[in-house]
């Protein structure tokens, strides 16, 4: 089943959120410290991912163009608007709790190599190992995020399953059109570009910055387009 890993990932986020709601008596100082620890861990993961690139110039160009497009389209505003709608629909009087939890968790769980690589493995080889591993990590992370950011974390399961599901389903056909060499280039540069975004999320969680990470998301698409052009030019391939 192509979507099995994606479904398990979503369920782990939901279960982790529900477990996190049971841990309501954690002192605020402890929650704050734990959140900063998660931020540091996310920062380390992002740093490791960023160095996967074989062409760092592609990464910086993708991020700059992606940031311009993201600001133009106001993706961060739209994502926060969705979070605010969830706040009004399901909120319990704690202003901003659902919106912040939804936005933060969505960015953490969606942006990253494991989401892309895991979904590709599910679609190309029917191997869900990477997504199972990601599910465990996301499950534990959602427990801690829920204790600090609230029930909004639960709703992040929806974009996670949609995002990974689309990649997995598309990957079942991608090998007919994309060579293994080009696919490897995609993975390296998308991983590195996503890694910088993950670093930004970590810095935000620590409280050092307030980067509008959602507005950087178009950088992933830009990176894919640049990699495609680079591959065809470097291999002297002419499209007719």
SS3 179: coil
What ranges do the domains of the chain cover? 4-233
Q: What is the pLDDT of residue 225?
A: 95
Residues in contact with 16: Cβ distance below 8 Å, sequence separation at least 6, in sequence order:
138, 139, 140, 141, 142, 143, 146, 153
The rounded distance, in Å, linking the Cα atoms of 218 and 31 is 32
Dist. CA 5–CA 167, nearest whole Å = 12
Q: What is the mean pLDDT of residues 27-46?
A: 81
How do residues 91-148 score in pLDDT, each as one tens digit?
A: 555 545 677 788 888 888 887 667 877 898 888 778 898 899 889 889 988 988 888 7
Q: Render pLDDT for 170-188 as a digit per residue (tens, 0 to 9).
A: 988 877 788 888 888 988 8
- Cα three-residue angle 121-124-129, rounded to 5 degrees: 25
What's the CA angle centered on 2, arms 20 and 133, to 5 degrees? 40
Paired tokens of 14:
């939901």
Distance separating alpha carbons of residues 138 and 143, to the nearest angstrom: 9
Q: How far is 94 from 24, CA to CA, in rounded Å?
A: 14
Residue identified by tokens 């199972």 is 132
Return d(Cα 189, Cα 57) in angstroms, integer. Answer: 10
> Which of 240 and 233 is assigned the larger pLDDT?
233
Closest CA to 138 of 1, 4, 15, 2: 15
When pLDDT is cut at 50, 70 and 90, the band that residue 63 belongs to is very high
> In this model, does residue 62 exceed pLDDT 80?
yes
d(CA 20, CA 59): 36
pLDDT of residue 113: 62
Name residue, tokens 């605010």.
84
| Number of C-beta neighbours around residue 185 at 10 A | 22
Return d(Cα 3, Cα 93) in angstroms, integer.
36
> What integer is the mean pLDDT of 148-154?
86
Cβ–Cβ under 8 Å, residues 213 and 204: yes
């Amino acid at each position: 089943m192509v979507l099995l890993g994606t479904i398990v990932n979503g369920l782990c986020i939901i279960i982790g959120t529900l477990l996190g709601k049971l841990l309501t008596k954690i002192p605020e100082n402890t929650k704050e410290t734990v959140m900063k620890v998660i931020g540091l861990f996310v920062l380390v993961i992002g740093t490791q991912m960023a160095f996967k690139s074989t062409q760092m110039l592609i990464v910086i160009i993708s991020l700059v163009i992606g940031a311009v497009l993201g600001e133009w389209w106001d993706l961060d505003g739209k994502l926060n608007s969705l979070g605010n709608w969830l706040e009004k629909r399901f909120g319990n009087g704690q202003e901003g709790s659902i919106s912040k939890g939804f936005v933060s968790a969505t960015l953490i769980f969606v942006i990253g190599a494991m989401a892309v690589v895991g979904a590709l493995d599910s679609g190309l080889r029917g191997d869900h190992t990477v997504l199972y591993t990601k599910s465990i990590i996301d499950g534990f992370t959602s427990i801690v995020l829920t204790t600090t950011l609230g029930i909004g974390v639960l709703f992040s399961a929806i974009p996670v399953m949609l995002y990974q599901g689309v990649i997995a389903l598309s990957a079942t056909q991608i090998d007919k059109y994309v060579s293994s060499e080009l696919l490897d280039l995609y993975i390296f540069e998308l991983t590195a570009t996503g890694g910088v975004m993950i670093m930004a999320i970590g810095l935000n969680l620590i409280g050092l910055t307030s980067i509008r990470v959602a507005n950087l998301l178009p950088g992933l698409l830009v990176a894919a387009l640049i990699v495609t052009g680079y591959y065809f030019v470097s291999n002297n391939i002419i499209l007719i």
